[in-house]
Structure 1
Amino acid sequence: MDLRLSPDDRIDSNTRQHKAGTAKRASAEKPKSGRRASKAAKPEKSKKPRRRNGGFGGFLITILYMGFYGVLLAGLAGAAVVVYYGSELGSSDTWEVPKRPPNIRVLASNGQLLSNRGQTGGEAIGYHELPYYVPLAIIASEDRRFMSHFGVDPIGLAAVAVESLRARSLTRGASTITQQVAKNLFLTPDQTLGRKVQEALLAIWLEQNYTKEQILELYMNRVHFGSGATGIEAAAQTYFGISARNLSLGQAAMLAGILPAPASYNPRNHPQRAIERQRIALANMVREGYITEQEASSASIDPDRSSVPTRVAGAEYYVADWVETLMNAYLGEVHDDVIVSTTIDWELQKHAEFVVKEAVLEYGSARNFDQAALVAMDTEGRVRALVGGVDYNQSQYNRAVTARRQPGSAFKPFVYLAALQQGYTPDTLMVDEPLEYNGWSPQNANNRYVGPILLRDALAYSINTVAARIAIDIGPEYVVETAYRLGFSSNFLPVPAIALGTQEVSLLELTAAYTPFANGGRGVIANVITRITTTDGEVLYEEVPSGPGQILTSEQVGMMNDMLKTGVEAGTGRGAQLGGWPMAGKTGTSQRSRDALFVGYTASWVGGVWLGNDDDTPMRNMSGGSIPAQIWRDFMTRAHQGLTVANLPGSYIRLQDRVALPQDGGGFAGQPAQPEGWGGELPQQPLPQQPMQQQQPQPIRSPDAIGDLLNGIFGN
């Protein structure tokens, strides 16, 4: 049997259509005869071929659809995030740039800038006040598309994203200068999604409401440069001691290089890193076409250098700190930038700093001290120089104004002044002998005593027992009252030991209290501010004469000067003698030599010097008549140059002429020459009638022995 198919057996489309048509006609012609017949007569449905997507094209279309929907969903989610975090900022109608914290510009009497104070450390400066390369250095280093973007830099964001993907970690930030301004002005430094969204919104708002120059000016005046300097002017003053108006190209590049990490790149603490950052900033400026290769090479610092010339914070910073503390008393709360003119003499201020540092460097190690302070003022109480410590960079603690230390015997003049006001005179005879009063037993150095002695000489040689007897006799309350009248503000306890300077005072108030002896008896209030103005020139404060007025009589001034002159002519303060100038003063050394002071004056100047250690460690072989007196003399020699020599004020005349000092063969410190023993006038006031242990003074055989004894044992 032949099973092969013939052409007629194959069903093509025509045959299929023909058969279908024949069947349809047959069905129409044949009557229906029941259910089975009906089923059989139902025509066969034709099947359509399935349409299939072809290969890669279909896959690409699918991806595009998915991408479109993904972008749409991401856009909706992003919009929701923006709306959510943007709503936390409130309406943009309420947004405004906050005021910059006020700056206090502190000037010396000649207009020299001492320092800036306030939260920023420098005043705001205008964009057009700066050399052209200063803003360009910042743009090239921080945001090279700053002039073209709208506040956010999509190109920069994409570049950072690619870098971070390759490195599998965030490589760098992508914030524009405008975003940094937004962050500094309005936001906290938190690195969160919400903060970044708000930063971007605020940046766009800034770009719509401010010019590029205004935004860059905001940035330069608000950005932090390290070392407490906020703003380009503060940075220029802090690191280079100049105004930002005078920055060189190399300095501008170095400041621009600081910005990514001020604590790590500033030239004061990390000079090598600062030099490397300067090189990068200059290279960025060359890349952007702002400067040439030759200009960059000329401006860069030799990378082999181990340091960068930067400004060293001098002693004038102590003055600026003091001025800042006074502002509330003068103006209340400061809201705008102000300019404060002071009484400080710039040249003398730097000289004071020099002599103090030199003395500590030369003698500090051998004598075991590392700190010093100096105050110098004119006879009206205007402070002309002030040193609060040896190195402001190491310690900002002001030992001239803030510190309270025991003045030792430098306080005794106020005990003696109280006695003069009660009828004593420099020629009153006292007795130096052991003393016990209600359990208190003050002693002299080496526990040696000289017996009868004039008040003048007791002060000149700083005899403790005589000062104690005076305080007991007139009452310590009267000593305290006298001290307050002369300007002390420390809280004193009225106890007999106050006579030996055991209660703490500041060097500033101690020095000011000596001023009435130099000016004829007028009380003063130590002053450093002469004028305060706004930056526009509006006068907010003008110095006016102040003080308690005449507090001492001419005779009292004369008697005090008579006694205190003896102290520098023959007593413990001989090391302070100032050539041909009549002068007076008093030394002071506290218990265990923890403090050493000298306060002296002429008819033109008053000054005080303190040496010691912050931790109260005792010094070695130190007294107020040694290094402190020497520092005082070195400073005052310069201060008196060009001045006319003048006598100290006062009308007191000694009751009798006195002869030469012991080294010349006569009596000592105003005592008449005698062949033996001790003579003198009877006391004009009775000696204190208080319970005490009586002991006969040691006999003294000759005037020379008296001088030797006093010079040897009363050197405090």
Structure 2
Amino acid sequence: MARSSAPSPRSKRAPAWRRWSVFVLQLGAGFAVLAAIVLAITVYVSEGQLPSFDALKSSPNGQMIRVHAADGTVIVSMGPSYGEWLPYDRIPKVMRDAMISVEDRRFRSHIGVDPIGMVRSIQVRIERGHWRQGGSTITQQIARNIFLNSNKQWGRKVREGILALALERKFSKDEVLELYLNKVYFGGGAYGIDAASRKFFGHGADHLSLTEAAVIAGLVKAPSNYSPTADIAAARGRAGVVLKLMQETGVITPAQADEAEIDKVAFVPEAQQNSVRYFTDWALPQLEMLIDETQRPLEVWTTLDLNMQRAADAAIQQNAPRGAQGALVAIDRDGAVRAMVGGTDYVSSIYNRATQAIRQPGSAFKLFVYLAALEAGHKPEDSIVDEPITIDGWSPRNDSRRNSGAVSLRTAFAYSLNTVAAKLGQEVGFSTVADMARRFGITTKVNTHPSMVLGTSEVRLLDMTRAFASVGNKGVAVTPYGITKVTASGETIYAQSVDTSHVLVAPYVAAEMTDLLQTTVNTGTGKAAQIGRPVAGKTGTTTSSKDGWFLGFSSGLTTGVWMGRDDAKPIAGLHGGTAPAKAFAAFMRTAVASRPVEQFDTKVTLPEYQLEPDQESYFGEADNGLFVDENGNPVDSGRATPAEPQVDADGNPIVPRSADPRITRGSDTQPQTEQNRPDDTQRLDQGWLDHVLGRDAPRPAPNPNRVPRDRPAMTPPDRYDDRQDSRPTQ
């Protein structure tokens, strides 16, 4: 029997790569399902944690700050501004269509994220090597603006997408668009379409035209670049792009796009920035130290007096030399800053020269030298020899290029004698002078080289003004402040309190310093600062007229003025006693006009006229006392050395008769005639001084043997040889 056999079927196994592919696909599907489950749970949880629609409507985009002057006038609004919240049905259709066309044309169809937009964004990133366009939807932008930040990190993008999905689940498309249009930032501090419309066009957003809507919609991409306040041409160009996109999406016809006259859209002109901003730029950063409120809108009341500010601005504008900058600070006796001008034009330069610039003060720094000397026991009547002096190889010179022998401290200060300041600094110690400057509020570095007595250390105008204010406040420290009160939602969260407990020097020292300062204004280098009432002050001029200063006080108000160039180049004719002193006077006449006249604790005492070091000072020539380089070495001022002064038989300086139409003999004055003019000169005596100062009434002749109040009798000035011999035994 024949046996048949059939071949057994041979099972074939799939290739390994196919098995691995199937496994990977299955694993990927599993992960995808798991990720979808996690995403769904995350979105669900996020949806439950989202605020309500009403809560999102009321949440602020940022902190708005309104700044008030001393009289309550709003001088500037800082931070975001909000217009009226417009419900969806009050938002013009052209505005809704314009925003969707330019920011998210598939807004009505996606679920919060747009995969097509994301893919396109990644494609552009690969092609160009950097991000050129985002794939964020309107819903994602809301999530980012309200809940997140703008950091370009993958983690943030993932959270943004999850929140967008949650927002779309919780709110309708119309509600999402309403939120967006009322909260998105449009530049210029404007949040929401109504604020933007009012800022740029002067009317509410419910009356927006097609071209106006196109302008606003075009701002979202880059508010700082396309804002009409920054670049009107760029804003109009971007609006043209928006109109083309609206035509592409079919929300407007080609005819409507052609009829839109973008070039004729009218913008509200931006409010002009003025010198008030110098003050607010200085005062507002202090809020970080005064309060911890960062959410609620703030109302900030300041010390700024608008009338004084206008007067300060005018004084700088009218007196600053051509090509020079000027700065002014006015401080009340309690430290309240009433006016601040940091430059001639805030629009062209926001650099605040009153608070930021550090410049050499020249002879104005002698305030601290004489304060230290007075505190050490000197008196204004004390005599000191004006003579050549060399300290550690440094030899200061007077502006007149000569020395006057024995003079009182009052005379030396009034006419800004450099050699006397150097002597006093050496006597009390240069470190003592530096300590006095720091005690009175100088915050910049003060060197202790001998030349420091002439103002070679750089200072700020605000600090110097503060120092003079403290002298005028009888030696009690004055701390400048600009904010008096801050409120939030009607609640006072900060109120200024003035500390009067910090005494810097004894009252008698401040009174003696005031004595010297008012002599400078009445008869010395600061005569241009006279305003018809008691003024105490000091001039300051640096090498080659690079800086001019005047600082002084009257009727409880202290004002400091600086003038110079930002590049520190010389300015012909700039001295502390010229333009700065004139600006001081122009400002103070207005600033103190409504204040009662206040007399100082010390009366004006004239310096020894017979020892006057420079006859030009009688005619108001300005102080130009600092002629040293940055190392403190003497340099040529660039002016011719004055001729030796003429003196009469008694050794008193004489001046040509053409200088004044009167001849003076002692305290008697007579009209000048051919009969009573004995020669071609006249004497600089007390009667001449009385006439110059408007005090023509006869005055008793000075008594060389007068004993100063509270002081023992002193040797007559012409017998002094040096300061040690001149000091009485205590």
TM-score (norm 1): 0.67
Structure 1 partner of 2:167: 206
Task: After TM superposition, give the deviation of residue 585 of structure 1 in Å.
Answer: 1.6
% of aligned pairs identical? 32
Cα 1:635/1:183, change in 2 over 3 Å: same
1:449-598 matches, cutoff 5 A: 449-534=403-488, 536-548=489-501, 551=504, 555-578=508-531, 580-598=532-550
Letter aligned with residue 469 of structure 2: T
Structure 1 distance, partners of 2:412, 2:87, is 64
* Aligned residue in 2 for 1:435: 389
Q: Report what 2:98 is aligned to.
A: 141
SS at match of 2:335: coil
Cα-to-partner distance string for 1:612-654 (whole Å, 9 max, x where unaligned):
333433433322222222322333233234x144033214464
Q: Summarize deviations over 1:122-170 as a string: whole Å, max 9, x none.
A: 356662699966x8775343227999967947999989999x99xx999
Are the equivalent residues in 2 in contact too, given 1:328–1:334 (CA < 8 A)?
Answer: no
* Partners of 1:224 and 1:81 in 2: CA distance: 34
What is the CA-CA distance between 1:342 and the residue it aligns to?
Answer: 1.1
**Any stretches of 5+ residues in structure 1 without a counterpart?**
1-33, 36-72, 691-716
Looking at structure 2, the residues matched to 147 and 520 of structure 1 have their Cα atoms a distance apart, in angstroms, of: 72
Identify which of 261, 264, 275 aligns with 1:302: 264
How far is the alpha carbon of 1:525 from its aligned partner? 0.9
CA contact (8 A) 2:200 2:228 kept: no
Residue 649, structure 1, aligned to residue 600, structure 2 = yes
Map 1:620-635 onto structure 2 (within 5 A): 620-635=572-587
1:156–1:511 distance in 2 versus 1, CA, 3 Å: same
Instruction: Give, in angstroms, the shift of residue 255 of structure 1.
Output: 4.6
Q: After TM superposition, give the deviation of residue 528 of structure 1 in Å.
A: 0.9
Give 1:259-298 correspondences, 5 Å limit.
259-277=220-238
Residues 443, 330 of structure 1: CA spacing in aligned structure 2 closer, same or farther, 3 A cutoff?
Answer: same
Distance in 1 between the 2:564 and 2:89 partners?
A: 47
State the Cα distance separating 1:275 from its structure 2 match.
Answer: 3.7
**Distance change >3 Å, CA 448–CA 635, structure 1 → 2:** same
| 2:623 alignment counterpart | none
Within the alignment, does 1:341 sit opposite 2:301 as a pair?
yes
Does the Cα contact within 8 Å between 1:425 and 1:455 map onto a contact in 2? yes
Partner of 2:139: 178
Contact kept in structure 2, 1:374 and 1:387, CA below 8 Å: yes
Deviates more, 1:93-102 or 1:308-317: 93-102
Q: 1:363 aligns with which of 315, 322, 337?
A: 322
- Check whether the contact 2:107–2:138 (CA below 8 A) recurs between aligned residues: no
Q: 1:276 to 1:415 in 2, by over 3 A?
A: same
What's the RMSD between the two structures over aligned residues?
A: 5.5
CA distance in 2, matches of 1:388, 1:112: 21
| 2:630 matched residue in structure 1 | none
Q: Give distance in 1, aligned partners of 2:500 and 2:560.
A: 20
CA distance in 2, matches of 1:583, 1:76: 89
Q: Which amino acid aligns with 1:471?
A: G
CA shift, 1:511, in A, is 0.6
Aligned to 2:12: none
Residues 295-341 of structure 1, C-alpha deviation per residue, up to 9 Å, x if partnerless? x999x7637x9x97223433333323322432343236856543322
Indicate conservation of the 8 Å contact 2:548/2:575, yes or no. Answer: yes
For 2:270 and 2:570, locate their aligned partners in 1 and report how far apart those are by CA, in whole Å.
36
Asked whether the 8 Å contact 1:444–1:464 carries over to 2, the reply is: yes
Note the C-alpha offset of 1:376. 1.1
In structure 1, the residue matched to 2:69 is 108
Q: Against the structure 1 CA distance between its residues 230 and 380, is the aligned structure 2 distance closer, same or farther, given a 3 Å change threshold?
A: same
Aligned to 2:679: none
Checking the alignment, whether the CA contact within 8 Å between 1:339 and 1:533 is kept in structure 2 is yes
What SS does structure 1 have at the residue aligned with 2:264?
coil
5+ residue gaps, structure 2: 3-26, 611-616, 620-658, 667-681, 690-701, 706-715, 726-730
Q: Deviations over 1:430-464 (max 9, x none)?
A: 33222112222222236333333332232222221
Match of 1:4 in 2: none
Q: Which amino acid aligns with 2:536?
A: A
In structure 2, distance between residues paired with 1:502 and 1:273: 49
CA contact (8 A) 1:85 1:198 kept: no
2:274 aligned with 1:314, yes or no? Answer: yes
- 1:374-425, CA deviations, whole angstroms, 9 ceiling, x for partnerless residues? 2112222200111223444554433222333221111212322332333433
1:415 corresponds in structure 2 to 369
Q: Distance in 2 between matches of 1:447 and 1:382?
A: 42
Specify whether residues 90 and 589 from structure 1 end up closer, same or farther in structure 2 by C-alpha distance, changes over 3 A only. farther
Say if 1:316 and 1:386, in contact at 8 Å, map to a contact too. yes
Deviation at 1:586, TM superposition (A): 1.2
In the superposition, relative to structure 1, how do residues 76 and 387 fare at CA in structure 2: closer, same or farther (>3 Å)? farther
Structure 1 contact 130–245 (Cα < 8 Å) conserved: no
Q: How do 1:598-617 residues align onto structure 2 when only pairs under 5 Å count?
A: 598-617=550-569
The 8 Å contact of residues 470 and 688 in structure 1, kept in 2 or not, is answered as: no
Specify the SS of the correspondent of 1:562.
Answer: helix
Q: What is the Cα deviation at residue 283 of structure 1?
A: 11
Quote the offset at 1:288 in angstroms: 7.5
C-alpha contact (below 8 Å) 2:197/2:205 kept by paired residues: no
Which deviates further from its counterpart, 615-624 or 597-606? 615-624
Code of the residue aligned with 1:139 in structure 2: it is: R
In structure 2, distance between residues paired with 1:432 and 1:95: 82
Distance in 2 of aligned mates of 1:241 and 1:687: 77
Q: With structure 2 as the length reference, what TM-score do the two structures score?
A: 0.66
Alpha-carbon contact 1:239-1:311 (below 8 Å) kept: no
What is the alpha-carbon distance in structure 2 between the residues aligned to residue 182 and residue 342 of structure 1?
37
Q: Is the 8 A contact 1:222 1:230 kept in 2?
A: no
Aligned residue identity for 1:649: F
Contact 1:85 1:197 in 2 (8 A): no
Partners of 2:199 and 2:268 within 8 A in 1? no
1:153-192 Cα shifts (integer Å, max 9, x gaps):
7999989999x99xx9999877543321223345565789
Distance in 1 (CA, whole Å) between partners of 2:502 and 2:202 is: 42
The 2-side partners of 1:584 and 1:101 are apart by 47
> Helix, strand or coil for the counterpart of 2:322?
helix
Kept in 2, the 8 Å contact 1:127–1:214? The answer is no
